[in-house]
Every structure is written in C-alpha cells, then in structure tokens.
Amino acid sequence: MLEDILDSAKTIATAVGQKTQELVSYSKKKLSCIELENELQRNYAKLGKVYFALLQEADEKSTEVEELISEINRLEEELTECKKQDCTENSKYCTQCGSENSAESVFCCKCGHKL
C-alpha cells in the first residue's frame, strides 16, 4: 500500500523535475544565490505538497507524519480564517477620497470624512 503511494509520488516528482528542466533551458539566464535558494525552497515545498496529498490518503502513517498532517490542516484553516477576516476588516472605503479604512473606523483615516 505504502509502496504504491511512494511509487506514484516518484512518478509525480519526476514529472515535476522534467517541467523544471524545461523551464531552466527555456530561460537560460544565470540565477543569483538568493534566487536559487528560493527556487530550491519552492521545489521542496512542491514536493512536500505532492507527498502531503498522497500521505493523507495512506492507511499507515507514522506518528510524525500524522502530527505534520494535522498541523498543516490546522494552519490551513487558520489561514483561511485570517484571509476572511482581512477581507471584511479592510473593506470600508471612504466615499470622499476613496481611502481604505478598517471596518470599525467611524471617520476616514486620511480626510476625516464620516464613513
């Protein structure tokens, strides 16, 4: 069972690798250390996401994986909540000058117009 999952993970990882190679040969510019580091982190994250999706479906999980999955799920939920709040809290715009104000503001932070 776990073997199958790891096999399909390898296939996906190879596909991701091929895509990256295509991209590299496409834009042959030299990357700076920071860009390379970022690129590496992005690929690690991508790989992690692939494994995450596969492991979530797996029957046998180690405690470490189990904990990571629940931690990621918790953070994802928190992020969704956070984004929702950001949208509602910052959605008040001044009718006078168009400045963005937080939802609980009574007067515009820029021109003082009553919101």
Binding site for Zn ion (CB under 5 A): 94, 96-97, 99, 108, 110-111, 113
Residue 42 C-beta: closest distance to Zn ion, Å: 40
- CB nearer Zn ion, residue 84 or residue 110: 110
Residue 92 C-beta: closest distance to Zn ion, Å: 10
- CB nearer Zn ion, residue 55 or residue 115: 115
Residue 101 C-beta: closest distance to Zn ion, Å: 8
β-strand partners of 106: none
Q: What values do phi and psi take at 68, rounded to 5?
A: -60, -45
- CB nearer Zn ion, residue 75 or residue 111: 111
Question: Are the beta carbons of 62 and 55 closer than 8 angstroms?
Answer: no
Residue 75 C-beta: closest distance to Zn ion, Å: 36
Question: Are the beta carbons of 28 and 48 closer than 8 angstroms?
Answer: no
- CB nearer Zn ion, residue 70 or residue 96: 96
